[in-house]
């Protein structure tokens, strides 16, 4: 198999040969104006579902997990973390079991899913920080419960998002980190001392920094400044044009530096569905607006997750911060893979052939032409068959 395009890192046109799932040769070729960009496939650390299917669903089946996983191909995502959000132990353990079963039974899921993200339930109960997570299920960290959830997941929980505002949080974080779990601070109303203690204990990421926060906070100190300032924390950012203003994104990236930022989509189960109201979700009634923004039904201020894929983040981060394509791809592909201890794809001979061919229009998201996963063409925009 041969794929032609412009390298994301230096802009040169190349022909990439693929065999047995790896890159076997890269040959320089004469450039063509129609050449797409070539880059490592996107690695999305936060996907709650897609196309009307949430992972938080007591009726979730392995076939539904397969369908969501295959849907990621159209957006150039070659690896992603299915994400379960705050809910009852019954719901979360059921979700973990079905996700684990899908990884074991389906090679298609197994090659796309290196682990799971548990976002909650150990988050703030306060309005604002808890976001759209159900209040009744927000609770303090419980090590025994987490161990049971990890067991249900077959040891696949790679990221745990929690708020360190509860007593005993630092001890909990230290235990989780020893077990190989990346602990992220998110949905939090923690004070400066609590955030510092969490990072000292091993927390190493901030989940969608700047979102899931009070509408008004003390100018300083506050939990956004504290996380922004700590160089031990990598910030995940939702740069879909709805979650953060461009000026905030620019300030965050300048403050953190691009090396400490990753892009996530935070897609919810209703992502990909037509505009309108939906009542059958695990977080209650939501509304999808005409521009793709997803909000709590009945108002347009409180977001209820994201409806736009990571291709928007790749294009927007370049527009908002003036960073180059190489930097954007590092935030969307290489660095997320490194965070979850996955060997990142490189456009180099011998690397696993997970990459995406795409265009970058003047407006709108990156437009995927082809997605290659382990050397197989899994999405081709020119294929008109349905």
DSSP 8-state assignment for residue 117: E
Task: Give me the residues paired with residue 26 across strands.
Answer: 16
Name the helix (H) or strand (E) containing 61.
Answer: none
Residue 137, pLDDT score: 98
Is 18 in contact with 1 (CB distance < 8 Å)?
yes
Please, what is the average pLDDT of the chain? 96
Q: Which residues contact 373 (CB under 8 A, 6 or more apart)?
A: 41, 73, 78, 111, 112, 354
List, for residues 245-294, the tens digit of each pLDDT value: 999 999 999 999 999 999 999 999 999 999 999 987 888 889 999 988 99
- Collapsing DSSP states into helix, strand and coil, what is residue 348? coil
Domain boundaries, the chain: 40-346
Confidence tier at 384 by pLDDT (50, 70, 90): low
Contacts of 118 (CB under 8 A, 6+ apart): 83, 84, 92, 96, 149, 157, 159, 160, 161
The rounded percent of the chain whose pLDDT value lies above 90 is 93
Predicted model pTM:
0.97
Per-residue pLDDT of 187-204, as tens digits, reads: 999 999 999 999 999 999
Q: Report how far residue 200's alpha carbon sits from residue 83's, in angstroms, rounded to the nearest whole number.
A: 26
CATH number of 40-346: 3.20.20.140
| Tens-place pLDDT, residues 304-323 | 889 999 999 999 999 999 99
The CA–CA distances, whole Å, from 247 to 139, 174, 187, 239 equal: 34, 35, 22, 11
Question: Residues 112-128: what's their mean pLDDT?
Answer: 98
Q: Is the pLDDT of residue 385 over 60?
A: no
């Amino acid at each position: 198999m041969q794929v032609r395009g412009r390298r994301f890192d230096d802009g040169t046109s190349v022909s990439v040969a693929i065999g047995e799932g790896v890159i076997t040769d890269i040959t320089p070729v004469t450039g063509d104006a129609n050449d797409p960009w070539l880059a490592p496939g996107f690695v999305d650390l936060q996907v709650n579902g897609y196309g009307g299917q949430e992972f938080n669903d007591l009726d979730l089946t392995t076939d539904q997990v397969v369908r969501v996983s295959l849907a990621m191909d159209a957006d150039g995502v070659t690896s992603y973390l299915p994400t379960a959000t705050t809910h009852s132990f019954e719901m979360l353990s059921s979700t973990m079991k079905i996700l684990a079963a899908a990884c074991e039974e389906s090679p298609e899921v197994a090659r796309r899913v290196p682990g799971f993200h548990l976002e909650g339930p150990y988050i703030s109960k306060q309005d604002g920080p808890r976001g759209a997570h159900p209040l009744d299920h927000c609770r303090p960290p419980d090590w025994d419960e987490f161990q049971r959830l990890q067991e249900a997941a077959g040891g696949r929980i790679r990221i745990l998002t929690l708020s360190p505002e509860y007593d005993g949080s630092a001890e909990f974080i230290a235990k989780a980190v020893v077990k190989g779990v990346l602990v992220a601070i998110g949905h939090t109303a923690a004070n400066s001392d609590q955030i510092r203690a969490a990072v000292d204990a091993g927390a190493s990421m901030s989940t969608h920094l700047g979102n899931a926060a009070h509408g008004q906070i003390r100018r300083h100190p506050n939990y956004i400044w504290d996380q922004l300032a700590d160089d031990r924390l990598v910030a995940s950012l939702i740069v879909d044009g709805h979650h953060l203003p461009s000026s905030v994104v620019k300030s965050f990236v300048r403050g953190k530096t691009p090396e400490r930022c990753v892009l996530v989509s935070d897609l919810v189960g209703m992502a990909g569905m037509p505009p309108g109201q939906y009542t059958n979700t695990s977080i209650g009634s939501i509304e999808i607006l005409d521009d793709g923004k997803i909000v709590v039904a009945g108002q347009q201020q409180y977001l209820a997750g994201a409806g736009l894929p990571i291709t928007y983040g790749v294009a927007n981060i370049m527009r908002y911060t003036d960073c180059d394509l190489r930097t954007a791809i590092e935030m969307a592909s290489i660095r997320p893979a490194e965070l979850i201890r996955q060997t990142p794809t490189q456009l180099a001979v011998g690397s696993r052939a997970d990459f995406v061919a795409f265009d970058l229009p003047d407006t709108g998201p990156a437009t995927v032409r082809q997605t290659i996963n382990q050397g197989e063409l899994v999405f081709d925009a020119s294929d008109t068959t349905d």
